[in-house]
Amino acid sequence: MKITVAVDIMGGDNPASELAKGAIDAANEFATEGLNLILVGTNEAIESLSNLPDNVKTCVAESIVEMTDEPGIVMKEKKNSTLVKACELCKNGEADAVVSAGNTGALFTAASLIIRRIKGIRRAALGSVIPLTQPFVLLDCGANLDATPEVMLLYARMGSIYAENVLGVENPRVALLNNGTEAHKGIPLYTESYALLKEDNTINFVGNCEGKAVPFGECDVLVCDGFTGNITLKLIEGMGKFMSKSIKDLFHASKVATVAGALTLKHTKKLKKRLDPSEYGGAPFLGLAKPVVKAHGSSDAYSFRSAIKQVMLYCQGGTIDKIASTMAKKTETVEE
């Protein structure tokens, strides 16, 4: 299956050369699986690239969307940016998907306006698979800083579809991230969302999930607004790095500890890999008409390579078609 991904190599925390390296690594690694890339960068960044593989092309854009830019200006003041160009390549059929490590809000805005959403979906969400006790989908984790109860219900439905069709979870358990398990806990957004989710017969709603229960497999889909979700996601990532450093420091504390570390090295490496966000690279925007993956802003070459791998698998699995068709059926069921 031939897949072409438009890759924005600008706008991340690391230099374009670092992201380009990750992209080229992915192109070499997955060439036999039909992966083709279009690297979108400024003229200076593109001219610095050499000896590109046959399955990598380039595209020049005039400007960059910075992390500090307000998302609302992207379609007004930066129509010629690399981020917008990547989305246009996807819209025009020159690419099948988009990957960018740039400004999350700007990518969401550009993709929503250029690529558009799946019919029937009012607002897309940034969904991230969190691999703790068992993988679960956290959404929204940054696309929309505000939400309504109706939008939270939409997140629950899309997350349930994603968990079922992509993660292979039968009848996924959907929970609402909250500050208590009781139905009356939380601000009005969450109490009203609880009522909607409880009454919806298209999802398997299991109630509220407290933060302390998140790592222990309480649900398959965890729903929240984008502000709360982004904080949760970054806290989980930060704790993963903290645990990795703490274990490393522990095994260097004494000679006995060093011996113990050597004996358990295989297992600690597995744990580190499991908690390392660079293994997953980024998160898809669920609800858009074509696959768009937001890579980590701090992506290095390996993390960016992982984001491209993720969007390739996203395309291969036909996830968009599954979400569109299943959402249509769920909508018909609700209307009946």
Looking from the CA of 163 toward its CB, the CA atoms found within 13 Å total 31
112 or 162: which leads in pLDDT: 112
Query: What is the pLDDT, as a whole number, of residue 275?
Result: 58
Residue found by looking up tokens 């992201």 in the block? 19
Task: Identify the pLDDT of residue 272.
Answer: 63
Average pLDDT over residues 180-196: 93
Tokens of 334: 């609700």
Residue 78 has pLDDT above 60, yes or no: yes
More confident residue, 323 or 271: 323
Write out pLDDT tens, residues 10-63: 989 999 999 999 999 999 999 999 999 999 999 999 999 988 999 999 999 999
| Predicted local distance difference test score (pLDDT) of residue 278 | 59
- pLDDT tens, position by position, 257-288: 888 778 787 777 766 666 555 565 678 899 99
Flag whether pLDDT at 328 surpasses 80.
no
Four-residue CA torsion sign, 301, 316, 50, 66: negative
298, 14 in Cβ contact below 8 A? Answer: yes
Alpha-carbon distances of 165 from 168, 229, 328, rounded to whole Å: 5, 22, 15
| pLDDT of 331 | 52
SS (H, E, C) the chain: CCEEEEEECCCCCCCHHHHHHHHHHHHHHCHHHCEEEEEEECHHHHHCCCCCCCCEEEEECCECCCCCCCHHHHHHHCCCEHHHHHHHHHHCCCCCEEEECCCHHHHHHHHHHHCCECCCCCCCEECEEEECCCEEEEECCCCCCCCCHHHHHHHHHHHHHHHHHCCCCCCCEEEEECCCCCCCCCCHHHHHHHHHHHHCCCCEEEEEECHHHHHHCCCCEEECCHHHHHHHHHHHHHHHHHHHHHHHHHCCCCHHHHHHHHHCHHHHHHHHHHHCHHHCCEEEEECECCCEEEECCCCCHHHHHHHHHHHHHHHHCCHHHHHHHHHHHHHHHHHC
Does 335 score more than 50 pLDDT?
no
**Between 323 and 223, whose confidence is greater?**
223
Mean pLDDT over the full length of the chain:
88
For residues 270 and 210, the model is more confident at 210
- The string of pLDDT tens digits covering residues 103-146 is 988 999 999 999 999 887 878 899 988 878 788 999 998 888 88
Q: Which residues contact 155 (CB under 8 A, 6 or more apart)?
A: 125, 139, 140, 147, 223
Q: What residues contact 92, with CB distance under 8 A and at least 6 apart?
A: none
| Section 286-310 average pLDDT | 91
Of residues 223 and 298, which shows the higher confidence score?
A: 223
How far, in Å, CA of 28 to CA of 53, rounded? 7
**Residues in contact with 97: Cβ distance below 8 Å, sequence separation at least 6, in sequence order:** 3, 4, 5, 6, 90, 290, 291, 292, 293, 311, 312, 314, 315
- What is the pLDDT, as a whole number, of residue 9? 95
Top mean-pLDDT range of 138-152, 210-224, 305-319:
210-224
Q: At residue 210, does pLDDT exceed 90? A: yes
What integer is the mean pLDDT of 177-187? 92
Is residue 336 very low, low, confident or very high in pLDDT (cuts 50, 70, 90)? Answer: very low
Going from the N-terminus, what domains does the chain have, and what CATH number goes with each?
1-121+287-318 (3.40.718.10), 126-277 (3.40.718.10)
